[in-house]
Structure 1
Amino acid sequence: MSKRAESVADGGSVHVVGTAHVSAGSVREVEEVIDRERPEVVAVELDEGRYRQMQGETPDDLEPGDLLKGNTVFQFIAYWTLSYVQARLGEKFDIQPGADMLAAVETAEELGIDVALVDRDIQTTVQRFWTRLSTFEKLQMMGSLVFGLADPRIVGLGIGVFVGLFLGPIIGLFGPTLGLTDAVLLRAATGGVVGLGAGFLTYLVAGSFLGEEESLLAGAGVGVLAGGVGGAALGLGAGFVAGLGGFAVTALGSMTLGLTAGVLVGAAAGAAFAALGVGSGGEEIEEVDLDRLTDRDAVTVMMEEFREFSPGGAEALIDERDAFIAHRLLALREQGKEVVAVVGAGHRAGIERYLDDPSSLPPMESLVGEAKSRGIPWFKIIGVTFSLGFLAFFLLLAMAGVRNGFLLRLFGAWFLVNGLFAGGLAKLAGARWDSALVGGGLAWMTSVNPLLAPGWFSGYVELRHTAVNIADIGTLNELLSDEERPLKAVLSDMLDVPLFRLIMVVAMTNIGSMIGTALFAAYVLPLFGAELGGVDAVTRLMLDGARNSLDIILGALS
């Protein structure tokens, strides 16, 4: 578990002790080695922030301006995921995660030995880790937290509803091309109204004798059945729905078809998740042997398996930190210090290789600072293209002579639809009124430029009033560890934790803006297009605008 790496030239030495962060045996070994060796310095795998937190000090709060950089919330989620896995293992083996590092610090202080913090700043590590993950891997990481919170069947339904919200507008746009007649949409709309009413009533009634998750599943099942049979097949309530008007029938019908398809697929996926044991988590922890943890620390066990499909993530979390810690230890050794270094066992081999061969160390400059994304920035390219297309649409219509009053009404509708959904969902997630209003008010602009997100601005305002820091992750882990409480109660308590509320406000504001954009394109824009003579007329006007613009440019150049 330990090895001495000496430097003959200067007399310094480094004794590396590899520990498991959730192993009681590691705590005893750390105490024994330090007491026996009595080094000049005890170096620990901690950074300044984690050390201060371990000493009971309040960690630094997240600065509001940091949120506007874009990935701060996602990096918190990444750190939360890693912390959650380690906390579950610590719970399993009845020891506080990080107890080995705490034992090293306390033993050193008792013996009057200097303590050196040799790990890289956690925020830098998590930023570089997040940047190195692919989009699919990021979704998997966030999904692991979701599955740890809810029944896989509920997760499947939630995914289905989310997909359906975007599938519905697509059906609304291309319904006629797909052969969806007004009669079909009326039946679907009727089924949606009947199903929603029946499902909601079932959920309320079932809640009096079933658990939260069972009530949701019962409501969803009865809603789909009642909507499909009573509404769509038998046409119960069709007269009422038809009286709402053609626009309402088209919107309700297409959204019902989209949501039904999404929920059915999501329910099937959720059932498959449950059958495969996805998200059960506890079984995986049960399989981890304590002896195995004395060879590799808990986070590294997970990350070495993760390395198989995410070399970049493992590089940032393990390999770069091996090199960073080795740089710090070499500096102490070159000063002639006798050092005992307490690190996670998964880092020991890498650190010792660098100590034995310092010439193989990468430059320190390559291990610090923010990492840059690798590959083609497709998201930025799509975002810029979308923004230019939106601006071109308005500009060409204006150049074609379309009335300013029409364009102002079109913009007003765009502003209103985006604002209502973005601000409304932000408030539903627990945002303050000023946060929801800021997110809703800026949603039109951030929808035009997908490189921005209204949730960042909602979160910025939230952080002006509420302190958020890494300590919140420990509170969330405690809430998630209680598997006996109903989901609704756990979620309610989690929303009282500033970090979780911030994540939800940011996420729901962005989702609301995305939904508003899809609904505007599918249902509102065609109404405005009809005023100009339909899609063909709008296309002709845009071509006229392009020709007029070209004439003006050529005239200016001539």
Structure 2
Amino acid sequence: MSDVHTTDTVKRLVFAGREIILVGTAHVSKQSVEEVRGVIREEAPDGVCVEIDPQRLSALRQEERWSNLDVYRVLREGRGFMLLANLVLSSFQRRIGLETGVKPGEEMKAAVESAEELGIPYHTCDRDVQVTLRRAWARTSLWGRAKLLAALLASAFEDEKISAEEVERLKRTDALQAMMEELASYLPEVKEVLIDERDVYLARRIWESPGRKLVVVVGAGHLEGIVRHLERCAAGDEGVAFGDLETVPPSGRAGKVLGWLVPAVVLGLIAGGVVRHGWEGGLRMFLLWVGVNGGLAGLGTILAGGHPLTILAGVLSAPFTSMTPVVGVGLVTGLVEASLRRPRVGDLERLNEDIASWKGFFRNRVTRILLVFFFSSVGSVIGTFVGIPWLASFLGG
């Protein structure tokens, strides 16, 4: 293999006569869009590969990408966290795009349009985004999801302005590597799914794409990993394959046992209270659990701007939903809020604009339902961590 660096963001790889030209982009950069168009036009490849899946490409080429969103179905299917994370990530990219004048994903769209104009076949080489998010969620605890979403929310709506020059600097390998290392130390299981697995997946899809000369458009953060795995593909390493990367792993036995551990501990403590302090003591411990868990879930619902009846539903249901891994308080509060404040057509039409600000997130009924779902869930989790030690101290008192 020979490796010729054309620019800081373009790598030309040659494998036994086959050329693969990798173009690293910043995802929301005018320079990236222009560079993508220029490379495809000048190289005139046999094929173009883009780091996007068919569903996201279809959404990118449709102006009303959220018009068919069914928030009820999302919550019932347990995808509330995934949708909120997706919206927050879109919010972050949209905010940068507004400041740089480039919509998120514009360089991928430009690559496809350039290929179509020149009559060059193009291939979508990324894994389905829903599979990626579901794999990440399956590996992350509820508390880990809360930490991740809190970090995303904080970064998405911070007031600091990001200039086009700063966005361009994100394409430098060292800066991106530092970001990856920070993500790995914060939530390594998420970094593995979002970055490492997709490096393998992208490399294999690129390698299997037809054509002796390919132009490949990917985020700059994937360049190093893709080059490494392409070299393994060229060496005939059969380990670089899709394998189970397109499936969502089922919950392990340990996770299922842990899910029932909380109710066992809570009920055991309350039963111990009855034995030690009589029925009155057991009742007091039960009311303590209801007050702490339900109260914090209700507080979370208030912070999200939930309807008064939604707040009441959170307070009453959290002490019981927290003792089962089957139904969470977020599902209850989310569905109640969605029933009381049904999303309007205008909410769906404005969703892409409203996610660019905190005010828009709370104003739009779709995102407010998701915030109610999220904050009430976090409140209940905190209530569980606080409530169990309190019950234990009361039992020992």
Structure 2 partner of 1:479: 357
Asked if residue 328 in structure 1 is aligned to residue 183 in structure 2, the reply is no
| TM superposition shift of 1:324 | 1.0
Q: Secondary structure at the match of 1:365?
A: coil
Q: CA deviation at 1:55?
A: 0.8
CA distance in 2, matches of 1:518, 1:105: 49
* Alpha-carbon offset, residue 505 of structure 1: 1.1
Q: 1:310 to 1:443 in 2, by over 3 A?
A: closer
Which structure 2 residues correspond to residues 255-266 of structure 1 after superposition, within 5 A?
none
How high is the sequence identity, in percent, across the aligned residues? Answer: 31
Alignment RMSD (CA, Å): 4.9
Q: Distance in 1 between matches of 2:11 and 2:344?
A: 41
1:3 and 2:12 matched: yes
How do 1:118-137 and structure 2 match up within 5 A?
A: 118-130=125-137
Unaligned 5+ runs, structure 1: 150-278, 481-489, 530-534, 540-558
CA contact (8 A) 1:4 1:15 kept: yes
2: CA distance, partners of 1:314 / 1:289: 23
- 1:387 match: 263
1:422-441 to 2 correspondence within 5 Å?
Answer: 422=297, 426=301, 429-431=304-306, 435=310, 438-441=313-316
Q: Distance in 2 between matches of 1:519 and 1:13?
A: 59
Q: Aligned runs of 1:89-100 on 2, under 5 Å?
A: 89-100=96-107
1:36 is the counterpart of 2:45:
no
Q: Quick check: 1:431–1:462 contact (8 Å CA) kept in 2?
A: yes
- Aligned amino acid, residue 504 of structure 1: L
Q: Which amino acid aligns with 1:429?
A: A
**Residue 357 of structure 1 aligns to a residue in which SS?**
helix
Quick check: 1:426–1:509 contact (8 Å CA) kept in 2?
yes
Answering whether residue 326 of structure 2 is matched by residue 448 of structure 1, we say no
| Equivalent residue, structure 2, for 1:242 | none
1:18 maps onto 2:24 in alignment? yes
Match of 2:59 among 53, 58, 72: 53
Deviates more, 1:97-106 or 1:125-134: 125-134
TM-score (norm 2): 0.71
Q: Distance in 2 between matches of 1:27 and 1:511?
A: 40
1:204-239 deviation line (CA, Å, top 9, x unaligned): xxxxxxxxxxxxxxxxxxxxxxxxxxxxxxxxxxxx
CA distance 1:112–1:511, change in 2 (3 Å): closer
Task: Determine the structure 1 residue equivalent to 2:247.
Answer: 369
Using a 3 Å threshold, how does the CA distance of structure 1 residues 295 and 518 change in structure 2: closer, same or farther?
closer
Contact 1:466 1:498 in 2 (8 A): yes
Contact in 2 for aligned 1:455/1:509 (Cα 8 Å):
yes
Instruction: Please show how residues 318-357 of structure 1 align to structure 2 within 5 Å.
Output: 318-333=195-210, 336=211, 338-357=213-232
Alignment of 1:193-272 (within 5 A): none
Q: Secondary structure at the match of 1:315?
A: helix
Superposition deviation, residue 73 in structure 1: 3.8
Q: CA deviation at 1:75?
A: 3.5
Structure 1 residue 50, shift from structure 2 partner: 1.8
Aligned length in residues = 379
- Cα distance in 2 for partners of 1:300, 1:92 equals 24
- The question of 1:116 aligning with 2:118 is answered no
Deviations 1:415-464 (A, max 9, x none): 79966775686367344577556544433312434775312222245457
| Structure possessing the higher radius of gyration over alpha carbons | 1
C-alpha contact 2:27 2:104 (8 A) present in aligned 1:
yes
Indicate the residue corresponding to 1:173 in structure 2.
Answer: none
**More helix per residue: 1 or 2?**
1
Tell me how far 1:473 sits from its aligned partner: 7.2
Kept in 1, the 8 Å contact 2:144–2:187? The answer is no
Assess, with a 3 A threshold, how the Cα gap between structure 1 residues 296 and 477 changes in structure 2: closer, same or farther.
farther
> 1:41 touches 1:338 (CA, 8 Å); kept in 2?
yes
For 2:4, the equivalent position in structure 1 comes to: none
Residues 424-433 or 344-353, more deviating: 424-433
TM-score under structure 1 length normalisation: 0.53
> Distance in 2 between the 1:127 and 1:453 partners?
17
Q: Is residue 270–residue 282 contact of structure 2 (8 Å, CA) maintained in 1?
A: yes
Cα displacement string for residues 48-92 of structure 1 (whole angstroms, at most 9, x for unaligned residues): 23212211252463664553566x444345445544544454445
Corresponding residue for residue 6 of structure 2: none
Partner letter of residue 23 of structure 1? Answer: S
The residue number in structure 2 matching 1:494 is: 361
CA deviation after TM superposition for structure 1 residue 386, in Å: 3.6
- Secondary structure of the structure 1 residue equivalent to 2:356: helix
The alpha carbon displacement at 1:329 in A equals 1.9
* CA–CA separation in structure 2 for the residues paired with 1:53 and 1:299: 27
Q: 2:295·2:315 contact (CA, 8 Å) conserved in 1?
A: yes
How far off is 1:119 after superposition? 0.8
- Which residue pairs with 2:183 in the alignment? 306
Residue of structure 1 in register with 2:7 after alignment: none
Amino acid across the alignment from 2:47: V
Out of 368, 374, 377, the residue aligned to residue 507 of structure 1 is: 374
Q: Secondary structure of 1:494's partner?
A: helix
1:505-535 deviation digits (Å, cap 9, x = unpaired): 12343466578889999999x9xx9xxxxx7
